[in-house]
A and B are shown apart, each in its own frame.
Chain A
Amino acid sequence: MALETVKKAIPLSTNHAIANAVKDLDVDVISAYPITPQTTVVEKISEFIAKGELDAEYIHVESEHSALSAAISASLTGARAFTATASQGFALMHEMLHIASGLRAPLVMSVAMRSLSAPISIWNDQSDLFNARDSGWIILFAHTAQEAYDTIIQAYKIAEDQNVLLPVMVGYDGYVMSHTIEPVITESREKVIKFAPKKQYPYKLDPDKPVSIGAITPPEYYYEFKYQQVNAVNNSLPTIEKVDEEFGKTFGRSYGLMECYMCEDAEALIMTNASYASTLKAFLPDIRKEGIKVGLLRVRLYRPFPLQKFIEYTSDKKTILVIDRAISYGAPFQGPLANEISGAIVREGLKLNLISVVAGIGQRTVEYEDFLALARLAYEGKKHKETIFYGVRE
């Protein structure tokens, strides 16, 4: 739960909030290629550099594939590296995603979630990010510009932790967050660096202590390297939780791994992330007035999935309605989050009725009446075997 502070907020879009975080973290290398709706992140960063407010190397690369390649290489020399992307750009850097996590590069990337072609769409949904579900990155979602600012700061502390050493991506919704101005409290660089001091990659590329990075491995060893990654991802969870708690103690704001909003007396939950979560928080009081006792379970940490928190928050609930903003074509549940939750339910033997909903594809508008209808579905708690493609014109 966000704590109250007495600091003054300034108006920033999520994109500019992230740019400010990168500045306050004294990031060393930014390599990026523009793409809607991310472009103003790196535009702002380049402005900071031009004005002398950030001493960093800005590499204009020719594609997102190069952007991530450059960021990986930079982070492996011990520099604090950053890149930002969305949609097709994110898809273009796909092979480098796995290389970043495979090489254990401690870099941070922001993803302004946008739908994937074809057909071409510049509008917001989460098909780009969920495509990278199994890339081995730590994945967090922000639901406000403030959380995006705070989470980028936390991300470096997590990534550079010597027991983690994994790349971290922070996802947020394009347009409805990236280009939307809202109140953000920013912190001083001194405080931010004190909270997240630069910790260097322990096997960094250094001519005085040479190492070789990027080897080929035969079947006798590949599996073990991947198992190292398995452990790194799973073991990062307590670190992620601790970093968020420390952030709370230092700056007065913390979010937890998962957020349960108006959950205590709820009989059913709606699970969603990012902008839908922040909108639902605004609508829930009115939804409750209709006698629909639902709460919101907001996904913040996605990989590694905070299973214990999920069990805790759903222990006395009958139904969970999962709203996915991406499609998992042909899967038993055709939304990635829903598939996740069904796995959790089976693994833990949970008595939970799962309703899978896909909505807001290509930024198809979902308004108060729609959230009310979905809340009602969750509250009625009927069984729905098939994924509900909410809002599609049949």
Chain B
Amino acid sequence: MEKLVSFKDMAPGGIVVNPGNSLEYKTGDWKVLIPVINQETCTRCRICWYVCPDNAILELDKEYTTKKNRKYKVSYDVSSDFCKGCGMCAQECPVKAIEMVPVEVA
């Protein structure tokens, strides 16, 4: 349990002096399913990244060359710290490159 601090040690007005700290609060610990993105089928359209309600789709500067020699500058991964397994990415992917699998399997 985090230790609760005295009023003297808090910034006045509830002002957040270190914004972006939501990255420290991991919300993905209870999911049942997790998406797996097929880098071969993925066309890098970014729709999954766009619809994910938790910003859990990560665009990585990782080059990828498909079997048909198509070169991509980026690849996609899923942040398990924040993904809650809602499946919106899999639902919206126009080329069905995303499959929801049980967490234990992934």
Contact = CB atoms under 8 A, between A and B. Distances in A.
A119 to B, nearest CB: 3
Contacts of A118: 13-14
B98 to A, nearest CB: 35
B45 interface: no
Interface in A252-282: none
A120 B6 CA distance: 19
B7 interface: yes
B106 interface: no
B6 A394 contact: yes
Contacts of B1: none
A393 B14 contact: no
A174 B14 CA distance: 22
Nearest to B5: A393
Interface residues of A, number: 6
Nearest to B15: A119
B13 A393 contact: no
Nearest to A394: B6
Binding site secondary structure of chain B:
helix
B13 to A, nearest CB: 6
A299 B7 CA distance: 31
A359 to B, nearest CB: 15
Contact of B13 (A119, A392, A394): A119
What is the interface residue range for chain B against chain A?
Answer: under 10
A119 B14 contact: yes
B95 interface: no
Contacts of B14: 118-120
Contacts of A394: 6-8
Looking at chain A's contact residues, the main secondary structure is: loop
A176 to B, nearest CB: 21
Nearest to A389: B7
Interface string B24-51: 0000000000000000000000000000
A394 B9 CA distance: 9
Contacts of B7: 392-394
Interface string B73-97: 0000000000000000000000000
Nearest to B8: A394
Contacts of B6: 393-394
B4 interface: yes
A392 to B, nearest CB: 6
A392 B6 CA distance: 8
Interface string A114-140: 000011100000000000000000000
B14 to A, nearest CB: 3
Interface of A: 118-120, 392-394
13 contacts: A118-B13, A118-B14, A119-B13, A119-B14, A120-B14, A392-B7, A393-B4, A393-B5, A393-B6, A393-B7, A394-B6, A394-B7, A394-B8
